[in-house]
């Protein structure tokens, strides 16, 4: 699906979509419980479909907000996680809670995303973790039951590997220790997992670089409501800042443990006129200024913040951005391409990226989304400040995480037309 967006400010109130990170975690924890749970406001997206599909292979079932638990009896021997990196990395250790052989398949760039952390971890654990592709890509074959023990891994890899172990290891028969051999990046995502596990009755102790996990624990069923997503809110925050009218963002928890809540602090540091009142974030048009942004803990915020940098005064510098290269697209190269079409140069040096802002962006251009939902949404927001219409090619990729994004965009006054 290709769409054409006419430059126009957005205005009004929006209930920010449910957190994808929390939706994954609540659904998995509920499915690992012994009784039925009721989890409301779970995100409806292809990534969550992937997680539910994987859990269904182990006996879980879903009826509206009700989640019935797994029994760990494998129903199918091939599971497709589509394009969901979270599902892939969370579910691999969970499939190792049973002994039957299972193949995990994926689609598009997920096939190429690295799993070498699990390659090393499971090498001496008496389980099979085998790539069926000669290029060391998906699918992988898993067989054997994980038994706990010592799991050393680097802290600067994706936090999803750590969270996957955190879900599974409490259900093994032995105590376990995860040892982080380098400083932890994306700490907020690990904290989010630990908090959800606590809510479901799982007790885990973290001391410095060690995470201690008692074996033989049981998940306790829980009823919960998923809060709004700070990573997705970034697009609406920026839309409010670069337009001419006020936006009000609802359903965001000011005390959230989501790591991407840092979006608010970053924007305030850039001079943004944002207030929090009566449970809502009020965003007023602001000419933001350049600053230095460390993306090590918040890589998903990268595309939209790079977009905002293109419209900020002075130079914005990005550091610790390498993990953007192994997402749904190489988001560094993708944003270079997007910004260049808008008439903004993104300069990359050996350890930093610099973007010097402009007052207005080119229009009458076509943007390639690289089949990446965050690139599509960032480009659509930037279209607010283009000189003329902007065509977004392959806009349907937003279904991965935010299927109603363009519907919400229109409700706020956006002028979007599907062209084919």
Active-site residue set = 300
Dihedral in degrees, nearest 10, Cα atoms 74, 78, 80, 84? 60
Q: Which of 104, 214, 67 is nearest to 148 (CA)?
A: 214
Q: Which of 141, 157, 222 is nearest to 189 (CA)?
A: 157
| Residue 361 bridge partners (DSSP) | 386
Q: What are phi and psi of 6, to 5 degrees?
A: -90, 130
């Amino acid at each position: 699906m290709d769409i054409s967006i006419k430059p126009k400010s957005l205005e009004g109130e929006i209930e920010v979509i449910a957190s994808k990170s929390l939706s994954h975690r609540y659904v998995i924890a509920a499915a690992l419980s012994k009784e039925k749970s009721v989890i409301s406001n779970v995100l409806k997206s292809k990534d969550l479909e992937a997680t539910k599909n994987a859990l269904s292979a182990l006996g879980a079932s879903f009826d509206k907000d009700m989640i019935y638990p797994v029994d760990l009896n494998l129903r199918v021997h091939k599971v497709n996680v589509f394009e969901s990196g979270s599902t892939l990395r969370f579910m691999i250790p969970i499939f190792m809670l049973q002994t039957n052989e299972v193949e995990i398949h994926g689609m598009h760039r997920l096939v190429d995303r690295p799993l070498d952390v699990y390659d090393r971890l499971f090498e001496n654990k008496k389980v099979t973790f085998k790539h069926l592709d000669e290029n060391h890509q998906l699918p992988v074959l898993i067989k054997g039951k994980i038994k706990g023990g010592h799991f050393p891994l680097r802290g600067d890899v994706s936090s999803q590997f750590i969270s996957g172990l955190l879900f599974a290891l409490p259900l093994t028969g032995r105590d376990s220790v995860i040892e982080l051999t380098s400083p932890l990046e994306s700490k907020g995502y690990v904290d989010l997992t630990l908090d959800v596990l606590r809510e479901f009755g799982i007790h885990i102790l973290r001391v410095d670089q060690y995470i201690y996990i008692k074996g033989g624990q049981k998940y306790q069923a829980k009823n919960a409501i998923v809060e709004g997503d700070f990573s997705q809110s970034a697009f609406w925050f920026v839309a409010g800042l670069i337009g001419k009218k006020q936006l009000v963002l609802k359903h965001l928890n000011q005390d959230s443990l989501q790591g991407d809540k840092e979006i608010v602090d970053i924007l305030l540091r850039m001079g943004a006129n944002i207030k929090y009142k009566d449970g809502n974030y009020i965003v007023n048009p602001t000419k933001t200024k350049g600053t230095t942004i460390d993306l090590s803990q918040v890589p998903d915020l990268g595309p939209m913040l790079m977009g905002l940098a293109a419209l900020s005064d002075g130079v914005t510098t990005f550091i610790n951005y390498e993990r953007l290269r192994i997402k749904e697209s190489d988001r560094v190269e993708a944003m270079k391409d997007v910004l260049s079409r808008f008439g903004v140069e993104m300069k990359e040096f050996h350890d930093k990226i610099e973007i010097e802002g402009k007052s207005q962006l080119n229009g009458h251009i076509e943007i390639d989304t690289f089949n990446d939902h965050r690139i599509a949404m960032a480009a659509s927001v930037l279209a607010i400040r283009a000189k003329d219409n902007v065509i977004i090619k392959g806009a349907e990729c937003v279904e991965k995480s935010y299927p109603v994004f363009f519907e919400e965009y229109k409700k706020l006054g956006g002028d979007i037309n599907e062209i084919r």
